[in-house]
């Protein structure tokens, strides 16, 4: 299955500059959010939105066409 | 006297043209800390209650802190206080840059300005000597041009000035330094303009010294490492304050369409990431700061150059001129930011006032006949930019909005007050109490109106927050994170304790991105160590909290004299109605009864009278403020 991923803030540096923080990952059936975290070497403290809904449980299963965004918990401004 | 202090305060009587120097004892500095509390001391001592904020009786104070000018990040800050022409209560506003440190190098810790000049003047301070100069040649000029003319005449200087907006006593006027840093909030620029004090110009190379230079250098080195090590600092350095845009959208805390919605479909167009990809020219910094969070942008918009000399938009500016107004045009927002810096306007108050007018226009409360033909609708970037010009020049409908949205609503009538997003007459910043509940309490009770930099925000004390943050918050006795979106008694305690800490930062005149309770470059323990290394005082976290609490009590005591009571601690009417739009805060509303309940808890924690919301005489005595009872 294919899952689209957007990385925000400094997390974008984990992808090549030309990707502009976006990637489409090919994942095996049964993959979970934590598998994406591991694949992209994301740090432990990031938060994420699955299909534009903030979630906390990284064991959530993914399905084809899902959209993930990873963010830092924002403060300041 | 701590060698990090100048030990001198300059008193300026503009009516008489008299300049005198006060040399207070060190105990005065230790008790009041500097910054806001020191300004409040003079306001509470010398300002009669209920004077005209724009009359000569008002007092305008500028105070640095006890480590301003030392070689460590986040120390070059200055706080301005006065009676606010927006709220009728205390005015309080901080700015960074190089001017705060330069004031110390020029020989003074602070300035107290009274009276009003008969004609425009500027104050020149050079290594302990102060003079008033004729400012006729500077009046009416753009802020960058004023800086250029002053450098041409005096050589290298740092300048704190009012622009044309302050000259015209626009109630949203700021005091600018470097023509891109602002003491923006609460109308302090209008007060300075009313005194016909065009600028304060400082220069000098007098030394301020740390009590323990090696300890300070060690902390400075650790701070530099923290920029990479702490995720929030890394994001702040990379994308500026605008780094938070995607997060704000994601939690439903990005005010859109005049605070009627909490998400903005085109949020990425106004994000720090997009700014970095497109119009960012470079990063800028304040004196001796390693973070470099300031943005410098260059582009063209609406046929005008956006000049790097005016810096670049902060998160608040991107939100107020962007999502508040339904505008996703980054160039137009950068142009509006530039105009604010050029005229000397608060970007939060100005953008929020324009978005208020846009909602009035959409609802037919004002029409093109009122606005001189401008279609002041959400999404109209040209109209938004033109309205900034009109406010800065007090021209056309801008003259109505120059009074701030609360007074504009009263003038418009016809229920326009339903469109207001103000607390104590001051426009709310771009963090939504529907998502950040404890911030809603702080918006209501804060003495100078809704402020996003007066306490730590909710997400840092909610379930799932990282151990790093909790370890730091534990230093304030905060060890029990709460459910997301909740408003519990423990959240009230979190708001109060972190408000005391933030208050101390505004008192010691320290940057709240560098020194803070959780995500900042330095936590509470390091903050105490740095203050101790700088001053030689045995500062503890508890002393910091007490200094912060003392300043909060002083602000409340000031407002009490102005007639403020518990009933003034409230939220805009629209916060009690369900939010529109989509996302996690759609449909969310505050209940008035809930607000009153958490206010009870808050006042009790503070030791204030629950009936009036004001500090009790006993509490003032405990805070060494007994002189306010007499």
**Residues 6 or more apart in contact with residue B373 via CB below 8 angstroms:** none
Other CB atoms within a 10 A radius of the CB of residue B624 amount to 11
How are beta strands B110-114 and B9-13 bridged, if at all?
A: parallel
| Tens digits of residue pLDDT in B76-107 | 999 999 999 999 999 999 999 999 999 999 99
> Are B250 and A54 in contact (CB < 8 Å)?
yes
Find, in chain A, the residue whose alpha carbon is nearest to that of B242. Answer: A77
Q: What percent of chain A is predicted at pLDDT more than 70?
A: 95
Residue in the structure block whose two tokens are 């959400």: B378
Is the pLDDT at A66 greater than 70? The verdict is: yes
| Alpha helical stretches, state H, B278-435 | 315-321, 330-343, 347-362, 381-392, 398-401, 405-412
More confident call, A52 vs B358: B358
Q: What is the pLDDT of residue B436?
A: 97
Q: What percent of chain B is predicted at pLDDT more than 90?
A: 99
Token pair in block for residue B61: 């104070």
What are the C-alpha distances in Å from B552 to residues B185, B545, B621? 17, 11, 14
For the packed helices B143-154 and B330-343, what is the interaxial angle rounded to 10 degrees? 50
DSSP string, B525-583: HHHHHHHHHHH-----HHHHHHHHHHHHHHHHHHHHHTT--GGGS---GGGGS--BSSS
Which of A12, A53, A71 is closest, CB to CB, to B247?
A: A71
Q: What is the pLDDT of residue A76?
A: 64
H or E stretch at B618: helix B617-622
H or E stretch at B190: helix B188-194
What are the C-alpha distances in Å from B251 to residues B159, B436, B487? 39, 9, 16
Other CB atoms within a 10 A radius of the CB of residue B394 amount to 18
Other CB atoms within a 10 A radius of the CB of residue B282 amount to 12
User: What is the C-alpha to C-alpha distance for residues A61 and A30, in angstroms, rounded to an integer?
Assistant: 6
Phi, psi of A13 (to 5 degrees): -65, -15
How are beta strands A2-7 and A67-71 bridged, if at all?
A: parallel
Q: What is the pLDDT of residue B108?
A: 98
Q: Extract the runs of DSSP E, i.e. beta strands, from A1-77.
A: 2-7, 22-26, 47-50, 53-55, 67-71
- Cβ atoms B127, B107 nearer than 8 A: yes
pTM for the model: 0.98
Residue A44 pLDDT level (bands cut at 50, 70, 90)? confident
User: What is the C-alpha to C-alpha distance for residues B23 and B109, in angstroms, rounded to an integer?
Assistant: 10
Angle at CA B75, nearest 5°, toward B229 and A71? 35
Beta-carbon pairs below 8 A across chains A and B: 89
Which of A8, A47, A54 is closest, CB to CB, to B273?
A: A8
What are the C-alpha distances in Å from B353 to residues B174, B313, B345? 15, 17, 12
> Are A76 and B232 in contact (CB < 8 Å)?
yes
Is the pLDDT at A75 greater than 80? The verdict is: no
User: What is the C-alpha to C-alpha distance for residues B506 and B59, in angstroms, rounded to an integer?
Assistant: 19
User: What is the C-alpha to C-alpha distance for residues B228 and B501, in angstroms, rounded to an integer?
Assistant: 24
Token pair in block for residue B455: 């306490």
SS3 letters across B350-382: HHHHHHHHHHHHHCCCCCCCCCCCCCCCCCCHH
**Chain B residues with CB-CB distance to A under 8 A?**
231-232, 234-236, 238-239, 241-244, 246-248, 250-251, 271-273, 277, 314-316, 430-431, 452, 456-457, 459-460, 463-466, 468, 512-513, 518-520, 583-584
Find, in chain A, the residue whose alpha carbon is nearest to that of B513. Answer: A76
Indicate the burial class of A41 (C-beta count within 10 angstroms; 0-12, 13-18, 19 or more): exposed
Cα A10 to chain center, whole Å?
Answer: 13
Between A50-64, B284-298, B318-332, B375-389, the lowest mean confidence (pLDDT) is in A50-64
User: What is the C-alpha to C-alpha distance for residues B122 and B124, in angstroms, rounded to an integer?
Assistant: 6
Q: What is the pLDDT of residue A77?
A: 64
Rounded to a whole number of angstroms, the distance between the first and last alpha carbons of chain B is: 29
User: What is the C-alpha to C-alpha distance for residues B444 and B438, in angstroms, rounded to an integer?
Assistant: 10
Q: Extract the runs of DSSP E, i.e. beta strands, from B389-444.
A: 422-423, 426-427
Residue in the structure block whose two tokens are 């004023």: B146
User: What is the C-alpha to C-alpha distance for residues A30 and B352, in angstroms, rounded to an integer?
Assistant: 47
> Are A69 and B246 in contact (CB < 8 Å)?
yes
Residue B186, phi-psi category: left (phi > 0), alpha (psi -120 to 50), beta (remainder): left
Rounded to a whole number of angstroms, the distance between the first and last alpha carbons of chain A is: 38
Residue B106, phi-psi category: left (phi > 0), alpha (psi -120 to 50), beta (remainder): alpha
| Tens digits of residue pLDDT in B466-502 | 899 999 999 999 999 999 999 999 999 999 999 999 9
Residue in the structure block whose two tokens are 């005082």: B537
Residue among B310, B319, B317, B305 at smallest CA distance from B343: B310
Residue among B403, B464, B394, B422 at smallest CA distance from B171: B403
Residue in the structure block whose two tokens are 């449909």: B587
Q: How far is B323 from chain A (nearest CA, A)?
A: 15
Which of B242, B273, B463 is closest, CB to CB, to A21?
A: B273
Q: What is the pLDDT of residue A58?
A: 93
Q: What is the pLDDT of residue A46?
A: 86
- Cβ atoms B291, B236 nearer than 8 A: yes
Radius of gyration of chain A (CA): 12
| Tens digits of residue pLDDT in A3-29 | 999 999 999 999 999 999 999 999 999
Indicate the burial class of B159 (C-beta count within 10 angstroms; 0-12, 13-18, 19 or more): buried
**If you average pLDDT over every residue of chain B, what do you get?**
98
Residue among B203, B213, B15 at smallest CA distance from B121: B15
Residue B20 pLDDT level (bands cut at 50, 70, 90)? very high
User: What is the C-alpha to C-alpha distance for residues B129 and B339, in angstroms, rounded to an integer?
Assistant: 34
| Tens digits of residue pLDDT in B34-71 | 999 999 999 999 999 989 999 999 999 999 999 999 99
> Are A9 and B457 in contact (CB < 8 Å)?
no
- Residue B488, CB-side half-sphere exposure with 13 Å CA sphere: 13
For the packed helices B541-561 and B489-507, what is the interaxial angle rounded to 10 degrees? 90
Q: What percent of chain B is predicted at pLDDT more than 70?
A: 100
User: What is the C-alpha to C-alpha distance for residues B442 and B602, in angstroms, rounded to an integer?
Assistant: 10
Is the pLDDT at B148 greater than 80? The verdict is: yes
How are beta strands B181-183 and A22-26 bridged, if at all?
A: unpaired
Contacts of B431 in chain A (CB under 8 A): 77
> Are B246 and A8 in contact (CB < 8 Å)?
yes
Find, in chain A, the residue whose alpha carbon is nearest to that of B319. Answer: A77
Token pair in block for residue B391: 């406010």
């Amino acid at each position: 299955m294919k899952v689209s991923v957007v990385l925000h803030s400094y997390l974008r540096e984990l992808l090549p500059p030309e990707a502009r923080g976006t990637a489409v990952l090919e994942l095996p059936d049964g993959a979970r959010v934590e598998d994406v975290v591991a694949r992209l070497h994301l740090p432990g403290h990031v938060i994420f939105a699955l299909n534009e809904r903030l979630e906390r449980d990284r064991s959530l299963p993914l399905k084809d066409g899902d959209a993930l965004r990873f963010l830092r918990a924002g403060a300041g401004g | 006297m701590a060698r990090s202090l100048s030990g001198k305060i300059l008193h300026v009587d503009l009516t008489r043209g008299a300049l005198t120097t006060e040399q207070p004892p060190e105990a005065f500095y230790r008790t009041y800390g500097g910054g806001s509390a020191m300004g409040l001391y003079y306001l509470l001592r010398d300002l009669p209650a209920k004077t005209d904020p724009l009359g000569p009786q008002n007092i305008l104070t500028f105070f640095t802190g006890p480590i301003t000018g030392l070689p460590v990040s986040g120390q070059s800050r200055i706080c301005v206080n006065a009676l606010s022409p927006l709220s009728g209560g205390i005015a309080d506003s901080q700015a960074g840059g190089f001017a705060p440190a330069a004031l110390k190098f020029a020989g003074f810790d602070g300035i107290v300005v009274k009276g009003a000049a008969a004609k425009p003047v500027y104050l020149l301070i050079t290594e302990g000597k102060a003079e008033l100069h004729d400012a006729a040649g500077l009046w009416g000029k753009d802020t960058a041009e004023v800086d250029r003319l002053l450098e041409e005449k005096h050589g290298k200087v740092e300048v704190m000035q009012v622009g044309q907006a302050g000259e015209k006593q626009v109630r949203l006027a700021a005091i600018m330094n470097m023509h891109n840093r602002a003491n923006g909030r609460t109308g302090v620029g209008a007060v300075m303009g009313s005194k016909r004090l065009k600028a304060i110009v400082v220069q000098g190379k007098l030394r301020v010294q740390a009590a323990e230079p090696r300890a300070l250098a060690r902390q400075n080195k650790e701070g530099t490492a923290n920029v990479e090590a702490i995720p929030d600092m890394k994001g702040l350095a990379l994308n500026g304050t605008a780094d938070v845009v995607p997060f704000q959208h994601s939690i439903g805390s990005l005010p859109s369409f005049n605070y009627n919605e909490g998400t903005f479909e085109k949020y990425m167009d106004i994000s720090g990431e997009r700014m970095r990809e497109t119009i960012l020219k470079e990063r800028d910094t304040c004196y001796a700061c390693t973070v470099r969070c300031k943005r410098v942008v260059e582009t063209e918009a609406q046929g005008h150059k956006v000049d790097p000399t005016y810096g670049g938009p902060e998160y608040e500016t991107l939100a107020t001129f962007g999502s508040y107004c339904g505008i996703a045009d980054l160039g137009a927002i950068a142009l509006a930011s530039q105009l604010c810096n050029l005229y000397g306007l608060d970007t939060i108050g100005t953008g929020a006032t324009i978005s208020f007018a846009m909602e009035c226009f959409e609802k037919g409360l004002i029409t093109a006949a009122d606005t001189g033909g401008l279609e002041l609708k959400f999404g109209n970037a040209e109209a938004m930019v033109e309205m900034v010009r009109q406010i800065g020049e007090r021209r056309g409908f801008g003259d109505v909005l120059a009074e701030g949205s609360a007074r504009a609503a009263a003038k418009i009538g016809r229920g326009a007050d339903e469109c207001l997003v103000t607390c104590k007459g001051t426009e709310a910043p771009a963090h939504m109490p529907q998502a950040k509940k404890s911030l809603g309490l702080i918006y209501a009770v804060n003495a100078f109106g809704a402020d996003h930099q007066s306490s730590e925000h909710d997400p840092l004390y909610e379930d799932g927050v990282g151990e790093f943050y909790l370890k730091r918050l534990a230093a304030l006795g905060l060890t029990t994170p709460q459910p997301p979106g909740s408003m519990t008694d423990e959240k009230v305690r979190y708001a109060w304790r972190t408000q005391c800490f933030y208050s101390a930062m505004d008192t010691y005149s320290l940057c709240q991105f560098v020194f803070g309770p959780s995500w900042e470059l330095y936590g509470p323990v390091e903050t105490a160590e740095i203050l101790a290394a700088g001053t030689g005082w045995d500062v503890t976290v508890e002393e910091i909290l007490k200094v912060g609490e003392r300043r909060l009590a002083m602000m409340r005591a000031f407002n009490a004299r102005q007639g403020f009571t518990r009933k003034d601690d409230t939220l805009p009417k629209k916060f009690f109605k369900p939010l529109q739009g989509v996302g996690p805060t759609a449909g969310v509303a505050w209940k008035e009864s809930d607000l009153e309940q958490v206010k009870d808890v808050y006042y009790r924690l503070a030791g204030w009278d629950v009936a009036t919301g004001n500090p009790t005489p006993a509490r003032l005595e405990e805070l060494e403020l007994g002189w306010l009872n007499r």
